[in-house]
Structure 1
Amino acid sequence: MPDTASRTALARNERRVTGILAAIFGLRMFGLFMILPVFTVLGAELDGATPLLMGVAIGAYGLLQALFQVPFGMLSDRYGRRVLMVVGLLVFAAGGVIAASADSIYGVIAGRAVQGAGAVAAVIMALLADVVSEQQRTRAMAIVGMTVGSAFIVALIIGPALAAWLGLSGLFWLATGLALVGLLMTLLWLPEPQLRSREAQLPWRTRVAGVVRDPLLARMNLGIFILHAVLMATFVTVPGLLQQQLPLAQHSVLYLVVFIASLLVMVPLMIRGERRGLRGAKLVAIVLLLAAQLLLALGHKQLWLLTVALWLFFAGFNLLEALLPSLVGRVAPVGTRGTAMGLYSTLQFLGVFAGAALGGWLLQYQGAGAVFWAAAMLLVPWLLAALTMPPLRRLESRSLPLPPAAALAGWSERVLAVPGVLEAVVFAESGVAMIKIDPAEIDEAALDAAAAQLN
């Protein structure tokens, strides 16, 4: 059985890696978000700028992200998470330099596209799923999700002030600098754990086919596509509605208050989900989103109803942002986790593109109410899919002290030979390992014997 020192070392390592990954993700996303509230104003001054091309500049990032998530995730399965994070952050920084140096809208489009090609979101989430125990994974994903949400809110608040000081080019230079800070954090502080599982490394075609055909992963991918399509459709529409009832300078304050209030709903639901299973928390979150869209459709002309709807929306959205990647990490085997996260992130960014396009078209031709009714209709099949989702196999993570260096070479093979042990993650720097087990199948005596032999 794991000793207290091993559990403490594992918990310390989990907190450290979660904090580093959340900081890297947050810095990168803040660099992107601070462009959004000002680009349509400042971008109009670029040579050749038109509303269509400015839209292409904003969307180019999402499209390239969608294209490169699976390749980055697959490569991280084979060559390691940290090296792919380094490559992705360097590519993102290069795109920032291109955009910052551009005098025309076409140069900015090129820079945004190169930024999008640095698609490390799937790699970050796969690494988090690798190193955090089953019991703590939802909480760790929530920390990352809340960090990204906070970056979004802070960017909405200070982005215009930074733009007035630095200009559009300066914002791109700042985004580049933040990416380089994330790169240094990756190189200096982020570990590269050694992952072992019962399954040998599979050919890439087999991995992709397995991920695509998996019915549970398909439900997660459907969910993240709908979630981000609804997000973008909502925020194509809501700012204009708020503008009719509230001065622009007060929008950021409203968003901040609503975001903080949403945590009062999200955090208890997340804790309850960790204790009693994630399926119920997921269903509640989808219902919150559906209620928010119905309230927006029926009451978007009244400020107080808009505020209540946004509160419900952020509560459901933030909870699902934490739950869905945690579920993907639980369902996907370690040998295909990066691939699974890559496909998941691809559907996420395709949802961003589809939701923005559909929301804009409906808003222009049918009005704001049609956007929210369409978003509600999108949520219904997801709710039905979640209601019929079978229960997940309950797994646990345990910590074990590592054997002396001389015996380490065969450690994972012997432990993985124990019935019920599914995978092992070795943290050589911390002198501890994390194993994932199936409590229904684990042979406790064999596991104790295997651990005793190696000490």
Structure 2
Amino acid sequence: MHDLHSERMSGSETRAAGGLALVFAFRMLGMFMVLPVLATYGMDLAGATPALIGFAIGAYGLTQAFLQIPFGIISDRIGRRPVIYIGLVIFALGSLLAAHADSIWGVIAGRVLQGAGAISAAVMALLSDLTREQHRTKAMATIGMSIGVSFAVAMVVGPLVTRMFGLSGLFIVTAVMALVGIGLIAFVVPSASSHFTHRESGVARQALLPTLKHPDLLRLDVGIFVLHAILMASFVALPLALVERAGLPKEQHWWVYLTALLVSFFGMIPFIIYGEKKRKMKRVLIGAVATLMLTELFFWAFGYSLTELVVGTVVFFTAFNLLEASLPSLISKVSPAGGKGTAMGVYSTSQFLGAALGGILGGWLFQHGGLNVVFIGCAGLLAIWLAIAVTMREPPYVTSLRLPLSPAALREAALAERLKAVPGVTDAVVVAEEAAIYIKLDTEILDRASLERLVNPAPETCQA
């Protein structure tokens, strides 16, 4: 039995974090690999129009958005693993449906079914069951990184796989990845001895209304909605611009994305360090949104040669990856104590709705106005986000903690109010049914050990 307060992750926690990160990565690879290729290869499908190609690109977001939170709630009732297995099987079936489609409508149906395997919330909840409090943030960060890496890999591998096996071969590969995910859950991820409802990793109904009314959380939800909308819309236009304007054969697009993603990964790191260390995340956020907007205008005005399109794509991905990495951490800073899981649920739903709308809008704009209208449309959406982001307050630089409470501490009246008076504690809420307290604190002012002593003092101080 490992020590409850040991500072290292145990073997089973490492296996849980690694295994679930891989499940996430394989599923995300399946979602994203079609992005760089559908606009160019999809036009060979029967009935394909640019508007329907855009719909196929974003279609998974529709079902994902609506089923994300319900699947999480069902996993509280029937268990995490059954929900994850069902979700991965649905995803695999969607991939096979798309693989055997000979018309664009078959591919759209497959993408819609892929999105119906909405397992994100159940995976996060299982991770909470399998990790201790002090390692949970680390474990969740592992999953966050796996999503980022899978997106980067998908941009490069998608064109290479499609070049070798065609569009149907690409969808078969994504079905195989879902089956690998099932194997990982069955054989690598340890079994949870119990599962508990946890407000940092699941949606709490009581927290839903306050989350939907929270102005700064809503600004961030609009942000991720726009970010994924312009990503999908841009991927209706960018691959076509590379073929039509720069004359780059679709089989060679992989090197453009590889260059852009490698440069952007290293390019964004200094900005994240600056924003966190100097506590200037609002400035970094606004700068990145403005850069994305200017990049879309650059594509519109100058994106007519290979050099210009490659430079634009590098800048686009640097700003995109910077925002994709920093928005979830802003959600966790801004959300009230005990509200992070609910805030992330609403955020994910906004993200998938954005992806759905962006694909549909990008395809429709391209069909009715060509490439330039797509770029102008994306710049317009980003201008709206910029206007909203400017009014955001500087986020609080706080950490979320959940500490178990002893029966004596639970009986104590006004514990949360007393804690809020402690310098460095910005918010606290006692959740009696979990026998726990959720706290937001500034680690530069207050350290965790002194906080634990305040919440659950040693027996002799209780009697004093």
TM-score, normalized by the shorter chain, greater than 0.5: yes
SS of the residue corresponding to residue 247 of structure 2 reads coil
Partners of 2:393 and 2:13 lie apart in 1 by: 29
1:448 is aligned, of 441, 444, 453, to 453
| 1:109-148 alignment, distance < 5 Å | 109-124=108-123, 140=142, 143-148=145-150
For each residue in 1:110-129, what CA deviation from the matched residue of structure 2 results, as whole angstroms up to 9, or x when unmatched? 44322211112455567779
Partners of 1:162 and 1:280 lie apart in 2 by: 44
Contact 1:135 1:396 in 2 (8 A): no
User: Which residue of 2 is the match for residue 357 of structure 1?
Assistant: 360
User: Which residue of 1 is the match for residue 209 of structure 2?
Assistant: 209
CA apart distance, 1:352 = 2.0
| 1:367-386 alignment, distance < 5 Å | 367-386=370-389
Unaligned runs of 5+ in 2: none
Q: How many residues align?
A: 431
Greater Cα offset, 128-137 or 271-280: 128-137
Contact 2:21 2:146 in 1 (8 A): yes
1:230 aligns with 2:230: yes
Change in Cα spacing, 1:106 to 1:215, as seen in structure 2 (3 Å) is same
TM-score by length of 1: 0.76
User: Which residue of 2 is the match for residue 179 of structure 1?
Assistant: 178
User: Which residue of 1 is the match for residue 248 of structure 2?
Assistant: 247
SS of the residue corresponding to residue 309 of structure 1 reads helix
Partners of 1:414 and 1:86 lie apart in 2 by: 41
User: Which residue of 2 is the match for residue 329 of structure 1?
Assistant: 332
Partners of 2:287 and 2:191 lie apart in 1 by: 36
Change in Cα spacing, 1:56 to 1:251, as seen in structure 2 (3 Å) is closer
Change in Cα spacing, 1:196 to 1:106, as seen in structure 2 (3 Å) is closer
Partners of 2:319 and 2:140 lie apart in 1 by: 15
SS of the residue corresponding to residue 118 of structure 2 reads coil
User: Which residue of 2 is the match for residue 305 of structure 1?
Assistant: 308
CA apart distance, 1:189 = 1.9
Change in Cα spacing, 1:107 to 1:142, as seen in structure 2 (3 Å) is closer
Greater Cα offset, 360-369 or 95-104: 95-104
CA apart distance, 1:162 = 4.3
Greater Cα offset, 290-299 or 441-450: 441-450
User: Which residue of 1 is the match for residue 221 of structure 2?
Assistant: 221
| 1:352-431 alignment, distance < 5 Å | 352-396=355-399, 419=419, 422=428
Change in Cα spacing, 1:147 to 1:123, as seen in structure 2 (3 Å) is farther
User: Which residue of 2 is the match for residue 289 of structure 1?
Assistant: 292
What letter matches 1:8 in structure 2?
E
Contact 1:225 1:349 in 2 (8 A): yes
For each residue in 1:349-377, what CA deviation from the matched residue of structure 2 results, as whole angstroms up to 9, or x when unmatched? 22223223332333333343332222222
CA apart distance, 1:43 = 6.6
2:344 is aligned, of 328, 341, 345, to 341
Calculate the aligned-residue CA RMSD, in Å: 4.4
Contact 1:74 1:338 in 2 (8 A): no
Greater Cα offset, 18-27 or 210-219: 18-27
Contact 1:332 1:340 in 2 (8 A): yes
CA apart distance, 1:318 = 0.7
Partners of 1:274 and 1:141 lie apart in 2 by: 20
Greater Cα offset, 314-323 or 437-446: 437-446
Change in Cα spacing, 1:112 to 1:382, as seen in structure 2 (3 Å) is closer
Partners of 1:177 and 1:102 lie apart in 2 by: 17
CA apart distance, 1:219 = 0.8
For each residue in 1:372-403, what CA deviation from the matched residue of structure 2 results, as whole angstroms up to 9, or x when unmatched? 22222221232232222123333236799x9x
| 1:44-83 alignment, distance < 5 Å | 49-51=47-49, 57-75=56-74
SS of the residue corresponding to residue 176 of structure 1 reads helix
What letter matches 1:325 in structure 2?
P
Q: Which one scores higher on RCO, CA 8 angstroms, separation ≥ 6?
A: 1
CA apart distance, 1:227 = 0.7
Identity level (%): 36
Partners of 1:117 and 1:276 lie apart in 2 by: 41
User: Which residue of 1 is the match for residue 274 of structure 2?
Assistant: 272
Partners of 1:350 and 1:201 lie apart in 2 by: 18
Change in Cα spacing, 1:151 to 1:375, as seen in structure 2 (3 Å) is same
CA apart distance, 1:147 = 1.3
What letter matches 1:153 in structure 2?
M
Partners of 2:292 and 2:406 lie apart in 1 by: 49
SS of the residue corresponding to residue 245 of structure 1 reads coil
CA apart distance, 1:445 = 5.4
SS of the residue corresponding to residue 8 of structure 2 reads helix
For each residue in 1:312-343, what CA deviation from the matched residue of structure 2 results, as whole angstroms up to 9, or x when unmatched? 11001111111112222343457554443332
Change in Cα spacing, 1:5 to 1:288, as seen in structure 2 (3 Å) is farther
CA apart distance, 1:253 = 0.8
